[in-house]
Amino acid sequence: MQTDAGEDGRSKPMEFFNYKGVKFAKHMIFSEENLHFVENEFQVLDDDIYNVTYPKSGTTWMIEILSLICSNGDVAKAKIKTVPNYTRCPWYESTIGMKQIETLTPPRILTSHLPCHIFAKSFFTSNAKIIYTIRNPKDIIVSWYHYGKISLLLQCPEDFEEHLDCFLKGDFLYGSWFDHVWGWIQMKSSKNFFFITYEELQQDLRGSVMRICDFLGKKLDEAAIDSVLENTSFNIMKDNKMANYSYAGKSAVDLSKGSFMRKGISGDWKNQFTVAQSERFDRIYREKMKNFPVKFNWDED
């Protein structure tokens, strides 16, 4: 995503606003007017596919997967080497995304971090589809912490303890992770909603891609599936300018300070959390996720 940041980094301290209980940054890609438009007037099309995530859950990975599935594994047709991911599959809730959408020819793949309660109302009476990717929140916290150091969009606390506190209080952009997953999981029985975890993608990418194809009603042959797997591998994406944000120049991230495609692993939280931080997180997690209708593999950790 692009920002109004200056050439050499963050231009000014970030200001925030609250839209229906959710925190947004007041820079050029978000505005209350646009969010109101997105929620109430944006016209979802029946053949739209929405890649929905809480930030740092595998959004960029799913953009590549969906781009390739929808093009039968054809790299040229998927435009993954020629068009930046944020233009190919725009964040529809951003003002920039709204403009980029005008250049798309349906069927569209759109990206969003919006919680369910402020998603476009027209989705709920359409035949459009949502793929919701969920990731172990401890890994999200770590991924976000490192992203904060290179992002010109975010200003994260430099102190990890403080960053963790903000997450647990829900004081993050796009609001509380707990609210996000509780909101979206209410859709789990809808035929238009499919959810998958980042960890499932990691453990069995082929099986995951086949499940996504089934949900989307796409029949890909073995060679096409092989192409999806090859071109969405961490190493290939890390080197792809159209996926690794180097194409965005210094408008979104400062890649001299780190990589957007950082580690791409599960369980990195173990290298960052202290035992006390992990125990504190677990206590709050257990309380907030009590009666959550789905069990995740990290619940056993």
List the catalytic residues: 113
Beta strands at 22-25 and 16-19: parallel, antiparallel or unpaired: antiparallel
Does 60 help bind ligand A3P (rule: CB under 6 A)?
A: yes
* Binding range to ligand A3P, per CB under 6 A, among 51-59, 89-97, 153-161, 222-230: 51-59
59 binds ligand A3P (CB under 6 A): yes
Among the listed residues 50, 58, 91, the one whose alpha carbon sits nearest the alpha carbon of residue 215: 50
d(CA 164, CA 145): 9
- Pick 34 or 112: Cβ nearer ligand A3P: 112
CB of 265 to ligand A3P, least distance (A): 7
Q: Is 165 in the site for ligand A3P (CB under 6 A)?
A: no
Nearer Cβ to ligand A3P, position 53 or 100? Answer: 53
Out of 148, 170, 264, 267, the only residue in the binding site for ligand A3P (CB under 6 A) is: 264
In terms of CB distance, is 45 or 264 closer to ligand A3P? 264
Nearer to ligand A3P, 59 or 67 (CB): 59
Q: Which of 2, 51, 57, 87 binds ligand A3P (CB under 6 A)?
A: 57
Compute the distance between CA of residue 87 and CA of residue 224 in angstroms, rounded to an integer: 23
SS3 content of the chain, % helix, strand, coil (to 5): 45, 10, 45
Cα–Cα dist 23/16, whole Å: 7
Question: Is 151 near ligand A3P (CB under 6 A)?
Answer: no
CA distances from 226 to 210, 230, 232, 294 (A): 11, 6, 10, 30
Q: Output the CA angle 92-195-290, nearest 5 degrees.
A: 110
Site residues (vs ligand A3P, CB under 6 A): 53, 55-61, 139, 143, 146, 232-234, 237, 261-264, 268
